Amino acid sequence: MATERYASAKAQYAKIGVDTDKAIETLKKVPISLHCWQGDDVTGFDQDGPLTGGIQTTGNYPGKARTPEELMADYDKVFKLCPGQYKLNLHASYAIFEDGEHVDRDKIQPKHFAKWVEFAKERNMGIDFNPTYFSHSMVKDNLTLSSPDEEVRKFWIEHGKRCIEISQYFAEETGIPCVMNIWIPDGYKDIPADRLGPRARFADSLDQILATPYDKTKVYPALESKVFGIGLESYTVGSSEFTVNYAAHHGIISLMDNGHYHPTEVVSDKISSLLLFNDKIALHVTRPVRWDSDHVIRFDDETKEICKEIVRNDALDRVFIATDYFDASINRIAAWTIGARNLQKALLAALLEPNADLKKLQDESRFTQLLALQEEIKTYPMGDVWDEYCASCGAPVGEEWIKEMEKYEEEVTSKRA
C-alpha cells in the first residue's frame, strides 16, 4: 500500500524525469552477495585457530554464531531485516562436517556444503564461494599460492581445485551461476629481495587451479587484489596490477575490494575502465578506515558513487556485487543489516538520479547547471522511496528493524555463552 508520502515523492521525481516505481522494480532484481563471515568474525567451522592472513576482527561483542545452525539462523534474521534479493557468499572454511568426519582443505567435497545448498534452495538463492587461504597451519610464513615451499604451494593448489568443483556443484544445484573469488594474503612485512618470483609462482598456481574442468557459464572465477595486510606492509603478491592483468589475460573476473587501495584512490573511478575492457567485473563493497579495510558500509559518498557508476553505465547485470566487512565490536546482526541496507540505499539513490540528463549537461559543457542539479538532487525525498521499497519487499521500514534486532538479541544471541 503506497503511502501519501510516496505518492508525493513520486510526483517530485517525475518532474526531473525519474520513474520511482521503475527504480524500485529494478532494485528488487539486483542480487547482492551477502558475506556469511560477518556472523562469526571470519572464524568458520573447519579449525579452531586464530584469524590469520593480515586480516583482523576487533571487538568481542557477545553472541557470535558458533555453529552452522546459529550462523544460518542469524543469516536468516538479516535477510528478514533487509529489503532486496540476496545470494549466500561462503568461504571454504564454512564446510560442515558431520558424524565426526573431518577432512583438510585440500580434500573438501561438495557433500560438505550440502546443508548450505539446502538452505540456499529453500530460499531461492544462489551461492558464491571463496577458497580460504588463511587461518590454517599450511599458511607458512604468510604464504600460500606463491610459496617457494612446493609442499605448501601444492596443498593450496589442491584447495583451489576442490573449490572449483564445489562452485560448480553450487551452480548446478541452485541453477544460479557461482562467482568463485580467489584472494590470498601472501606478502612480506619488509622489503623483499625478489618481487617477481612470488608473483610468477602465484600465476602458475592459478593456471593449475583454473585447469580444473568447469562450465564457464556456471562458474565465474574472480581474482581479488590488495594493497597491504597487517604484518605484510611492504609487499603484496596479489597487487592490483597483478590481478587485473592476470584476469584479463586468462578470461576470468577482476574483483575490486574498495578497502584495498591507497587512501586517495577510489574504486568508483576504476569501474568504468574495467567495464570497457571486461564483460563482467566483481566488487567487494566495504568501508576502509585507516589501516582497516572492513568497517561496516555506511550510506556515504563513496558507496553512493560506486553504485552510481554501476547504474549509470547500465552495468547492473555485469557487476557482481558482494559485501565484505566484519565488525565484532557491535551486535553482529546489526552490523550485517546496517551494511546491507546501506548498500541497497546507495543503489536506490543511483537509480533515482536523472542520469541521462546529467550526462547531457556534461557533454554540452554546461558545468554550472550540472553542479547545481547534482546538488539539488541530494535533498530530493529519497527516504520516502526507500520506505516504499522496504515495505514492498516486506522488510521493516525505517528504524523498525532495530527493535526486531534487539528482540532477537534478547531471545537468541544474548543466550549464547
Structure-block grid coordinates of residue 174: 541452485
| Residue 250 a catalytic site member | no
Binding status of residue 254 toward ligand RNT by CB under 6 A: no
String marking each residue 253-292 x if it binds Zn ion according to CB under 5 A? ----x--------------------------x--------
50 CB neighbour count, 10 Å cutoff: 8
Q: Which is catalytic among the residues 294, 327, 353, 387? A: 294
Q: Is 294 in the site for Zn ion (CB under 5 A)?
A: no
- The site that binds ligand RNT (CB under 6 A) totals a number of residues, namely 11
- Could you identify the residue written with the cell 610464513? 141
Does residue number 128 form part of the binding site for Zn ion (CB under 5 A)? no
Which C-beta is closer to ligand RNT: that of 42 or that of 349?
A: 42
Residue 337: burial class (beta carbons within 10 Å; 0-12, 13-18, 19+): buried
Please check whether residue 297 is in contact with residue 257, taking contact to mean a CB–CB distance below 8 angstroms. no
- The listed partner (ligand RNT, Zn ion, none) that binds 293, CB under 5 to 8 Å by sort, is ligand RNT
Nearer to Zn ion, 130 or 174 (CB): 130
Binding partner of residue 130 among Zn ion, ligand RNT, none, CB cut-off 5 to 8 Å per kind: ligand RNT
Catalytic annotation present for 149 = no
Between 42 and 281, name the residue whose CB sits nearer to ligand RNT: 42
Is the dihedral angle over the CA atoms 383, 23, 180, 231 positive or is it negative?
negative
Contact 184, 238 (CB under 8 A): yes
Q: CB nearer to ligand RNT: give 265 or 314.
A: 265
* Interface with ligand RNT (CB under 6 A), residue from 136, 201, 226, 308: 226
Amino acid symbol at 308: K
In whole angstroms, what is the distance from residue 321 CA to residue 309 CA?
12
Tell me which residues in 203-262 interact with Zn ion (CB under 5 A). 257
Nearer Cβ to ligand RNT, position 224 or 384?
Answer: 224
Minimum CB distance to ligand RNT smaller for 227 or for 274:
227
Checking 244-252 for CB contacts under 8 A at 24+ apart, the result is 244/274, 246/203, 246/206, 247/222, 247/223, 247/278, 248/277, 248/278, 250/206, 250/207, 250/210, 252/210, 252/220, 252/221, 252/222, 252/223
- Our finding on whether 74 is near Zn ion (CB under 5 A) is no
| Residue choice 37, 228, 242, 408 for contact with ligand RNT (CB under 6 A) | 37
Residue 324 makes contact with Zn ion by CB under 5 A: yes
Residue 324 interacting with ligand RNT (CB under 6 A): yes
Q: Does 183 bind ligand RNT (CB under 6 A)?
A: yes
Q: How far is CA 145 from the centre of its chain?
A: 22
The residue sitting closest to ligand RNT, measured at its beta carbon, is: 183
Residue 162 to residues 6, 75, 108, 120, 168: CA-CA distances in angstroms? 49, 25, 6, 20, 10
- Residue 118 near residue 174 (C-beta atoms within 8 A): no
Query: What stretches of 155-218 adopt beta strand conformation (E)?
Result: 178-182, 187-188
Question: Is 161 known to be catalytic?
Answer: no
Give the count of beta carbons closer than 10 Å to the beta carbon of residue 3: 13
Smallest separation (angstroms) from Zn ion to the CB of 167: 17
Indicate whether 40 belongs to the interface with ligand RNT (CB under 6 A).
Answer: no
Residues marked as catalytic: 183, 224, 226, 257, 260, 284, 292, 294, 324
